[in-house]
Amino acid sequence: MMATDFNIEFSERLKALPPYLFVEIDKAKRAAKAAGRDIIDLGVGDPDLPTPQHIIDALNKAAQSPANHHYAFDAGLPQLRTDIAQWFNKRFGVSLDPDSEIYPLVGSKEGLAHLPLGIINPGEKVILTDPAYPAYRASINFAGGKIINLPLKESHDFVPDLKRVEQIKDAKFMYVNYPNNPTSATATKEFYQELVAIARAKGIILISDMAYSEIYFDGIKPPSILEVEGAKDIAIEFHSFSKTYNMTGWRIGWACGNRTLIAALAKVKSNFDSGIFQAIQLAAIAALKTDPRDLDDLRNLYQERRDCLINGLRSIGWKIPPPKAAFYVWAKIPKSFNDSMETAKAFLEKTDIVATPGVGFGEAGEGYIRMTITVPKDRIALAVERLRKVL
């Protein structure tokens, strides 16, 4: 039979997504690797260390049991939710009802991306900080929301200017993500108090993404928005096992907070997925019991790498304020470059270093480049040596 050209087109909602700006860099990176060049990849936000052994053991054991081979459905194992509640109370001093205020997710990205479908109607306004984790923008587009960009400025420590939030009329919800990807900024409890007061007065739903809650430096623990009195009336917070326990590939996280928002998310999800593999839920229960000293070791390791990169770059004349949390260095591009894309391309071509152009996270990210510290210290030191020759 002759092939027929059916001219299949993507949907309007798919076509409306912003262009994927990393395509060119990705292509160049693959070509460089294929050519045998020694690439130092400071582009991907994915821990290089393996998942701790006790978590792998829990998965192995649970995978053997046929009882875990079925659809897990909905809210999953009650024990996972009670253990999350216990962990949350210990870490943030906030009590959560395991049955109505906690919901497990197939990774926090999944929940973040599905929630808008459950709460916004086409045309409703959503406040999005810029730069931001790209999945937010896509999911608002899918749900038909109208994005109001709120720039995060270095002069304002990369937290939103709340005076501007007060001026925005009829916003349905707003994202906050601290520790922040890509800027690594953190937020204080005072900031959350002000934000919650404004959101309550204006009826704005708050979505807090705390994927990096446990990756912090210098002993300063990032607070949860749910620590603020009254936050539970309007806020939902997303947490992840990915970054804390080196479990990015396992796909498990949770949402917690306002029960109506949790119910909306649960209803959307029940139409998309059928729960999280129970053996992975059991492994997550083991993860929550990780020796706190192991997490201290992980933070110390990232802190050493951070200092190696920041001090190294300073020694070659590139001064960047050290991040307080997460595993990103968000750096103003050197003066010899015009924009972030040109910088990223030059790094790859001249130094075999992959870094992410800031503009890929939103217009306000232009002028910056993101480098991750998810590679060993000797590779970071080598990256600095290579950069010395071009800067």
Task: Determine, following the binding rule CB under 6 A, whether residue 108 of this chain makes contact with ligand PLP.
Answer: yes
Of 290, 278, 228, the C-alpha closest to 252 is 278
Q: Among 68, 177, 258, 374, which residue interacts with ligand PLP (rule: CB under 6 A)?
A: 177
DSSP 317-362: T---PPPSBTTEEEEEPPTT-SSHHHHHHHHHHHH-EE-EEGGGG-
Q: How far from 14 is each of 47, 115, 390, CA to CA, in Å?
A: 30, 18, 39
Neighbours of 74 (CB within 10 A): 13
Piece of 4-12, 186-194, 240-248, 330-338 that binds ligand PLP (CB under 6 A): 240-248
CB of 108 or CB of 186, closer to ligand PLP: 108
Min. distance of Cβ 88 from ligand PLP in angstroms?
Answer: 16
Say whether residue 211 binds ligand PLP (CB under 6 A). Answer: yes
C-alpha to C-alpha distance for 257 and 263, rounded to whole angstroms: 11
246 binds ligand PLP, rule: CB under 6 A: no
| Using rule CB under 6 A, residue 257 touches ligand PLP | no
Strand boundaries in the chain, DSSP class E: 40-41, 102-105, 125-130, 146-151, 171-176, 205-209, 235-240, 253-257, 328-332, 353-354, 356-357, 368-372
CB-side exposure of 126: number of CA atoms within 13 Å? Answer: 27
Pattern of binders to ligand PLP over 136-175, x per CB under 6 A?
Answer: ----------------------------------------
Q: Residue 229 and residue 227: Cα distance in Å, rounded?
A: 6
CB of 270 to ligand PLP, least distance (A): 19
323 contacts ligand PLP (rule: CB under 6 A) = no
Q: Is the separation of the CB atoms in 115 and 268 below 8 Å?
A: yes
Q: Which of 82, 193, 248, 290 binds ligand PLP (CB under 6 A)?
A: 248
Q: For ligand PLP, which stretch binds (CB under 6 A), given 102-110, 113-121, 196-204, 277-285?
A: 102-110
Contacts of 380 (CB under 8 A, 6+ apart): 305, 308, 309, 312, 373
Residues 275-314 that bind ligand PLP (CB under 6 A): none
x/- mask, ligand PLP, residues 36-75, rule CB under 6 A, reads: ---------x------------------------------
Supply the minimum distance, in Å, between the C-beta of residue 46 and ligand PLP: 8
**Which pair of tokens denotes residue 216?**
């912090």
242 phi and psi angles, rounded to 5 deg: -60, -55
Question: Quick check: 204 and 198 in contact, CB under 8 A?
Answer: yes
Cα(269)–Cα(68) distance, rounded to whole angstroms? 20
> Which CB sits closer to ligand PLP, 133 or 302?
133
- Asked if 133 touches ligand PLP (CB under 6 A), the answer is yes
- Please report the sign of the dihedral spanned by the C-alpha atoms of residue 44, residue 50, residue 52, residue 56: positive
φ and ψ at residue 174, rounded to 5 degrees: -145, 145
Compare residues 329 and 382 and give the one whose CB is closer to ligand PLP: 329
330 binds ligand PLP (CB under 6 A): no
Q: Do residues 295 and 307 make contact, with C-beta atoms less than 8 angstroms apart?
A: no
Q: How far is the CB of 378 from ligand PLP (least distance, A)?
A: 25
Q: Considering the complex, state which of residue 107 and residue 145 has its C-beta at the smaller distance from ligand PLP.
A: 107
- Residue 59 beta carbon to ligand PLP: minimum distance, rounded to whole angstroms: 16
Among 139, 183, 224, 242, binds ligand PLP (CB under 6 A): 242
Binding site for ligand PLP (CB under 6 A): 45, 107-109, 133, 177, 181, 209, 211, 240, 242, 248, 253
